[in-house]
Amino acid sequence: MKPLQSYAHHNWVAPTGTLTDIHSAVTGEMIAQVGAGIRDFAGVIDYARRVGGPALRAMTFHDRAKILKSLGDAVMARKEELYELSYETGATKSDGWVDIEGGAGTLLAYASKGRRELPNDTMLLDGPLEGLSKRGTFLGQHVMTSLHGAAIHINAFNFPVWGMLEKLGPTLLAGVPAIVKPATASAYVAQACFRILIEANVLPKGALQLIVGPIGDLFDHLTGQDVVSFTGSAETAQKLARHPVIARESVRFIAERDSLNAAMLGPDAAPGTPEFDLFVKEVVREITVKAGQKCTAIRRAFVPASAMDATEESLKKALAEVVVGDPRGEGVTMGALVSRSQRDDVRAKIEELSREARIVFGDPQKANVRGADAEKGAFISPVLLRCDQPAKATRVHEIEAFGPVATLMPYRDVPEAVSLVNRGKGSLVMSLFTNDPTVARQVLEGAGAFHGRVLIVDRDCAKESTGHGSPLPALVHGGPGRAGGGEELGGLRGVFHYMQRTALQGSPRMLASVTSNWISGAPEMRDGPHPFRLRFGELELGKTLITDARTVTLEDIEHFAHFTGDNFYAHMDEKAAAANPLFGGRVAHGYLLLSFAAGLFVDPAPGPVLANYGLDNLRFLKPVKPGDAIKVQLTAKSKSLRNDKYGEVRWQVALTNQNNEPVATYELLTMNAV
């Protein structure tokens, strides 16, 4: 393999000078080389800001979502290339599936969220309108806009594909260019995936750049518009966070650090229960998947003291069935660590843990390996330790062996278990195996603040649960304290890391125009054809229809009640309704009012309105009694193009009575032909 290249200024850059060898985790043979390919780091970040940033910001969220979809599809189309390289990192086929197809799936998930949850615009409204004056002429609205800098992504070695793509999804959707720095040990896989992204030919110039090798003085050129997203060890994260430019420029620093994640077996989950079996299965899986090289892996397993011996025996029995070897080999269930130096580190950490805990399964110095040489490769046996006095121990709550290693510990009661779990000082995830909601609530109240994610496993969800160690695009991936305090992923929360929230203040007219979102008090256009006669491209925001009034009669109310079966007393029993302090007499059904409203504003002839597909933010504000007259104001509030055939129109609907008092408000959603 040729020396790995970087990618900058829309060109591949070969390394120069001294090269460092990267060895196969399986055979020990040299598989790639890295060196210093980029010298001008100021130029790299300038290119991202000057070329990539403006190009991405000119696109709407939907445009960027389409790019993510294309990138995800491109990775899936060439996934077998990545699998072949992934084997050399020690990853099995199932390990690679999590990394490669999981990474592509994250891009596709963010593409879907971008199309479904974000407007076809470059700006995002954040929260409701805020009234700032008595007469409504001065308002406030929070908005989100793309940062004008670059995102520096520093990734860990354990997931060279997923780790890169899970950062790129929200970053590109936010409209911010990225500079990717993969970990050296698996950089050959990351670079191969990066090539696939570039060769998909859907990214604007400057949107993505790659640094293979040292990052030089890159941090010296950061500004307050840039973001650093880091995944890796707590030690490295602390070193980067202390860089003087990070503090001086208030650079956003998002850290997702390795943590001492825990699993807890509930006091109700005795041996023989489904939850006990699920606990054993999950702990073994988390020890062995990726050979334990996961930031989310279970490092500490807590069980009731009475179940310690049974749990130990069950774990040992299951671990004895694990087959360590060449990940390409038939029947192999656990591969190698990423490098021999990583194996040395894990062995050293196990030795430290052994001062407080005893090894009850596995030999860190010896591994029975199938289809490979145990010493030439970076193989190690899965190791289970047992610490019988965790309350008096310190190392098991502070030292992480980043490999196939976990420690089993007892607890007396739930409060002690919570206390022990929290001694990890913050983690990405903890799992609780219980069938008792009372236990789950007690653990959540005591430990929730110490964990970014809490997985509660019972017999009901087990078949569909994605497991302890699977971060999902829709949920926050991060955690407090030792875990770094960051929140990668989390649906749109991940996107917001790369955007600026700004409090916008002004008049209704100005805010409506600036945000492309009509608000009450902004100009209305009441002349011309019925709004439903206008195609998507012809319809202007503020286009308004005010209907004639319709009187609601007692006969209307009773007919609606009999027709629908809604005979609630407030509509049908005068005496009971009169005693109701909210109504003081019979009132019209809320849904009767909605039906009458539609009858007042709908233009029935075929036209550009293709479908009514929902109501949002419905509120009934004032009762309507027999004899009251209602009318409707329908105003085009916002538009979002969905494809080349139709777009979504959001209408503000306001119902008032004969005294011009608000009766009900809601937002109507329609699909209109382009």
Supply angle C-alpha 211, 402, 266, rounded to 5. 130
Locate 221 and state its tokens: 């050129």
Q: Are the CB atoms for 393 and 300 separated by under 8 Å?
A: no
CA distance 461 to 463: 6
Nearest to 567 by CA among 580, 586, 553, 548: 586
CA distance 158 to 378: 14
Supply angle C-alpha 306, 310, 311, rounded to 5. 95
Q: Are the CB atoms for 378 and 387 separated by under 8 Å?
A: no
Locate 438 and state its tokens: 């009372």
CA distance 494 to 227: 12
Supply angle C-alpha 484, 158, 454, rounded to 5. 45
The 298-304 sheet, strands edge to edge? 358-361, 383-386, 405-411, 298-304, 261-265, 430-433, 454-457
CA distance 193 to 8: 16
**Residue 548 DSSP symbol:** P
Q: What b/e sequence results for 282-291 when a residue is b if at least 16 CB atoms lie within 10 Å of its CB, and e otherwise? A: bbbbbbbbbb
Residue 506: partners with Cβ closer than 8 Å, 6 or more residues away? 138, 139, 514
Locate 547 and state its tokens: 């209907």
**DSSP letter for each residue of 605-641:** SS-SEEEEEEEEEEEE-S---TT-EEEEEEEEEEEEE
Active site residue 445: no
Q: Cα–Cα distances in Å, from 361 out to 282, 367, 404?
A: 17, 12, 11
Q: What sign does the CA torsion over 301, 463, 331, 277 have? A: positive
Q: Are strands 369-370 and 298-304 parallel, antiparallel or unpaired?
A: unpaired
User: Which segments of 175-296 does DSSP mark as H helices, in order?
Assistant: 187-199, 234-241, 244-248, 274-288
**Residue 49 DSSP symbol:** I
Count of alpha carbons within 13 Å of 644, Cβ hemisphere only?
Answer: 0
Segment (H or E) for 310: helix 308-319
Selecting among 88, 101, 166, 256, the annotated active-site residue is 256
Segment (H or E) for 458: none
Locate 32 and state its tokens: 């790639």
Q: Can you give the length of the chain in residues?
A: 674
CA distance 51 to 204: 9
Q: What sign does the CA torsion over 192, 295, 385, 281 have? A: negative
- HEC string of 332-346 equals CCECCCCCHHHHHHH
Selecting among 101, 282, 295, 487, the annotated active-site residue is 295
In 419-479, at which residue ranges do the beta strands (DSSP E only) sit?
A: 430-433, 454-457, 476-478
Active site residue 295: yes
- Gap between the terminal Cα atoms of the chain: 52
Query: What is the set of active-site residues?
Result: 256, 295
